[in-house]
Structure 1
Amino acid sequence: MSGEGQGTSHWFDDEAGPVVRPYAMTRGRTIGAAQDRLDLIALVVAEPHADDPEADRTLSPEHVDIVELCRDAPQSVAELAARLDLPVGVVRVLIGDLVNGRLVHVTRPVPPAELPDESILRDVINGLRAL
């Protein structure tokens, strides 16, 4: 048997950087604690006391990135997945960890059924203009 191809061929190109499987980031978990509230439009907000997530040695770099991204403005789960270039499932598990650690909280946008009717809003605007 020849040693051809051993140690000389790559299954990825050199510019790809280090390859970390998503299950390694989540330690094999596929469901987080807050999974039921984490659809794509759920908004993740950093807690005010989470001002230095890098000081917490239990957090992975991805956890820290999520807290940092949510510090200035709420971010949706979909936005976080896109900005971190990670699968949504991985981001959901990581957010669940942060919710358990009380570093972020998750809010839901107002459902369309609970928004005021457009005609009511127009009437209010017209009434204000008439003043």
Structure 2
Amino acid sequence: MQPLTFVKPEVSNGLAGYFRLPAKKMPKIKDKKKVSESESSDNDSSEDEKPAPSKKSKSSLPEKDENGDYSWQLEKMKYVKVRAFKGNVYVDIREHYLADGKLKPGKKGISLSVEQWRRVKELIPEIDEAVKDL
């Protein structure tokens, strides 16, 4: 195990900025589906057969969380949630944090009304073009 590295940041924000943990490489996890498909292809001589389609629920929506919100994970602690608040529906894009073993929404993020969300969706082609341009 590598020791902690002492780093003096340009702007001190407490002890958290002074110590840096060494980077760890996460072990690669084999996809069970791929492994089972490769094993089954070794046993079957016909390569023309397609695997049976996976059974999906009729709805493409994820299950609701404990608060009754639909939720999609973007990154480790960043989520998109669809929630109701005071009788209005919002699309919430936000960083979360752990407190008392529960995932809670943080200050960094934005809640868009349905109308604002529709406008963002209309702007996506233009935004994609701007991203390509930069």
Q: What TM-score do the two structures reach when normalised by structure 2?
A: 0.17
Structure with larger RCO (C-alpha < 8 A, sep 6+): 1
Higher helix share: 1
Higher strand share: 2
